A and B are shown apart, each in its own frame.
Chain A
Amino acid sequence: MSVPLEHDYIGFSPPPAEETSMEKTGDIKPISALTMNMEATELRLGLPGSQSLQRDDNGSPELCIALPSCKSSVSRPKRGFYFAIHGGSGNWVFSSPDTNFSSPRNNPSAVANSESGQDGGLPNQSSPAPQPEKKNGQAAGPASKAQVVGWPPIRSFRKNTMASHPTPKNSDVMEGGDHHPQSGGSASSSSSSSSSDCLYVKVSMDGAPYLRKVDLKTYGGYKDLSLALENMFSCFTIGQCGSHGVAGGDGVSESRLVDILHGSEYVLTYEDKDGDWMLVGDVPWKMFIDSCTRLRIMKSSDAIGLAPRAFEKVQKQQLA
């Protein structure tokens, strides 16, 4: 069977003859195009000592296929990869988790996936100003945890069953020694999962018809949280926030949050373990996670008295 020649149709130059490492190299040695194309498609299952295009690690699996080297971020054509952020536990008040809120077809202003195909894409954004790409793993937290409709491909029966009877312990490595299993799988569908890796809290917004739930553990800090909340609730705010943050001298947290929601006259507050309502952003992130039991996006007018100093600051910035 003749091999079609267009092997670099995904934009790669012909690969070098000898692939000494799998690291991405900018320079590519020129080689006979025809030879390389043949070898690029020829699959060999890595018998040691055969042919030149292999790494010679003793015993370890060998990649016998000459992969064209590429730049670290491949610019890929759009895939139509959209996110429907439907929340971890599917715990919506009125709609079914199936509803796709953020199809790119319905929302032309959404930046569906674009440049960051490699790390799973960005959450759908309705603000026209494009977000800077999130390169680090932490900031990709909300993106990678956002749910795509029908993904992962698990039967809904199984999904629903596992959701209402969550894993008592989320362990991925067998730890030796004593381990106290909790008696029985937890049969309750509690609002915060008993798994150590999840911390779901309810988020309400004044005036919104339904609540949301977010997993605080998926966010690296206040920045990520506020971004995610903005995405979730932006459909309810009157004004959109285009600009992002005055770099506050006293930390990213407080001023950014207030700014993001500032244009819509809301502030973000949380209820702590003592039942008090606090302004989000005062304490270090870790402390916040440990004490937060629910979030509320409150109208600024109601927030008077929560943290007077902070509120004055807001007013100052408003006037500036």
Chain B
Amino acid sequence: MNYFPDEVLEHIFDFVGSHKDRNSVSQVCKLWYRIESYSRQTVFVGNCYAIGPERVAERFSGLKSITLKGKPHFADFNLVPPDWGGFVYPWIEAFARSRVGLEELRLKRMVVSDESLELLSRSFPNFKSLVLVSCEGFTTDGLAAVAAYCRQLKELDLQENDVEDHRGHWLSCFPESSTSLVSLNFACLKGDINLPALERLVARSPNLKSLRLSRAVPLDVLQRILIRAPQLLDLGVGSYLHDPDSENYNKLVTAIQKCKSVRSLSGFLDVAPHCLSAFHIICPNLTSLNLSYAPGIYDNELIKLIRHCHKLQRLWILDCIGDKGLEVVASTCKDLEELRVFPSDPYVGQAAVTEEGLVAISRGCQKLNSILYFCQQMTNAALITVAKNCPNFVRFRLCILDPTKPDAVTQQPLDEGFGAIVQACKGLKRLSLSGLLTDQVFLYIGMYAEQLEMLSIAFAGDSDKGMQYVLKGCKKLRKLEIRDSPFGNAALLMDVAKYETMRSLWMSSCEVTLGGCKALAKRMPGLNVEIINENDQMEFVGGCDDDRQKVEKMYLYRTLAGQRRDAPEFVWTL
């Protein structure tokens, strides 16, 4: 291979797609490193503090697309204080300075300011795609800048972001000449939308394939949009409130009938469920259905809708579907691969589905490989059955609303059930546990979960042994997050070198002490060991701190960038 000219190698590397593979390629020899680096166009940075933007820009001179993730996963659940970090501005600024030809930016759990959006929109003339997931810190003014100045914008995808809404003039900032839009998702916005501007935008975007509307878009506008864009593949309905006898509704029915290409349906943020029959005609074509924000669809209307969806591969639903409804899913959606069941009312602490629904799904949907299931209770027997029926799980996330609830029938811990899952599912990459669990379940995980990359633990285990089993056994572990479990320094310090093979470790409300964290930081300079000390729980008394204090929140990650300079006061890097 070394006798081929560079261009040939580069061409061959084009066929190497995944980040992992490209990383492997780059480590073969210096020549390959060089060629792979300048030819790589898509870069994935799982932790924005693992490396500095200048180094990325320098190494990957051909960079066009970058994915950045910021805050640790548990930030989704309010376990990380708001100012912890994860700012995108330094990245955009560094890339602008280095004249990176950025075309695509995908961010998750990062803080995005309006300034960064403005800088973004002005610095990269070829910029085409902005995807923000679970981000915060920006307003619709930032969106206006993106709309106005990204002349080649194809994709603006906002998923579950916390956006301050300054009322929707941003849509009218798309210049009249802009016709390139392929994907537009603003479902998470809460404020009013400039409806005529939206309609005009859709009308002049012949390539529009994906459109997800917010609650502010009413039915008559939806109907007119669908008339203009029958080529849509992915539709997110905003508001669906109307009178079934109205003219608008009839027009809508006609419009929907023309949308033969729709494969993915979501939204229904406000809905009159008895009028859903208008959508039955496109249900047989759907491969993806997300009704997890549609509490207004339930009981018979929901079941009727689902009965038409024979080809469904992905279903996100609320637990008001119930066990019986899941049986209907099991008998209808034979191609189902991914299922997520969310609780309708997370504050009440009651879920409407139990282990029976999960078992039913496992019986009917043999192709199932990814599940997120919030339920009221679970049993070992059910999990064992599920493991038997569906050995193909890649992601298995179970959340029993009462986090330490035992087997509902036998009152035993759920160790055996989860043990069965990890034993049967040889390809399992992601696992979230809940329920009453002892160290035994971690023994099983260490023994069987050979491909496991991400593990989430809450209120589980009895002793350090639990965590030790996992660290010893799971060779491919990349992310480990633990809360409220009795793991302490012995587990933390058992194999410190392992953390450099992982992206990150989160431990909160465990038994690790300040002394243990300090010892770890000392031995592993290649890690940032952060102590998050909100509410002044820990004290430095006259320069000398008590190492026996328990650490409330610790987040450590491997990094080439050293200690970060943007850490707030309450974050100590040891």
Contact = CB atoms under 8 A, between A and B. Distances in A.
Interface of A: 1, 4, 7, 9-10, 22, 24, 41, 43, 45-46, 60-65, 67, 70, 72, 76-82, 88-90, 97-100, 103, 105-106, 117-121, 144-145, 147-159, 161-163, 165-176, 179, 181, 183-185, 187, 193, 195, 197-198, 215
A197 B349 CA distance: 11
Nearest to A90: B347
Contacts of A76: 462
B486 A79 contact: yes
Contact of A88 (B320, B347, B463): B347
A43 B445 CA distance: 12
B39 to A, nearest CB: 36
Interface in B59-83: 74, 76-79, 81
A174 B344 contact: no
Contacts of B345: 162, 166-167, 170, 193, 195, 197-198
A46 B388 contact: yes
Contacts of A171: 298-299, 320, 322, 352
Interface stretch (B41-49, B164-172, B405-413): B405-413
Contacts of B486: 77-80
A162 B322 contact: no
Contacts of A121: 404
Interface stretch (B4-12, B19-27, B141-149, B415-423): B415-423
Contacts of A176: 300
B320 A43 contact: no
Interface stretch (B92-100, B252-260, B435-443, B558-566): B435-443
B552 A103 contact: yes
B299 A169 contact: yes
A2 to B, nearest CB: 11
6 residue pairs, one from A and one from B, having the closest CB atoms: A172-B352, A185-B296, A150-B77, A167-B295, A157-B160, A61-B385
A206 B160 CA distance: 39
A240 B79 CA distance: 31
A198 B162 CA distance: 27
A67 B272 contact: no
B299 A175 contact: yes
Given A150-B74, A151-B458, A158-B160, A106 B79 contact: no
B401 interface: yes
B349 A145 contact: yes
A185 B295 contact: yes
A306 B322 CA distance: 46
Given A81-B459, A117-B404, A170 B352 contact: yes
B174 interface: no
Contacts of B128: none
Given A46-B384, A181-B299, A80 B485 contact: yes
Given A170-B345, A174-B328, 9 more contacts: A45-B423, A61-B384, A63-B384, A80-B485, A105-B537, A155-B76, A174-B325, A179-B300, A187-B270
B186 to A, nearest CB: 14
A97 B77 CA distance: 11
A193 to B, nearest CB: 8
Contacts of B160: 155, 157-158
B233 interface: no
B138 interface: no
Contacts of B537: 103, 105-106
A181 B274 contact: yes
Give the interface centre of B381, B419, B423, B447 by most chain A CB atoms within 10 Å: B381
Contacts of B402: 119-120, 144
Given A169-B299, A183-B272, A81 B387 contact: no
Nearest to B302: A174
A150 B79 contact: yes
Contacts of B416: 43, 63, 65, 67
A197 B405 contact: no
A117 B494 CA distance: 28
A237 B291 CA distance: 46
B78 A156 contact: yes
B140 interface: no
B70 to A, nearest CB: 14
A100 B535 CA distance: 9
A162 B382 contact: no
B352 A79 contact: no
Contacts of B273: 181
Interface in B460-477: 462-463, 465
B388 A45 contact: yes
Contact of A77 (B384, B404, B462, B509): B462
B408 to A, nearest CB: 11
A22 B416 CA distance: 14
Given A72-B411, A105-B550, A152 B401 contact: yes
B484 A81 contact: yes
A43 B349 contact: no
Contacts of B270: 165, 184-185, 187
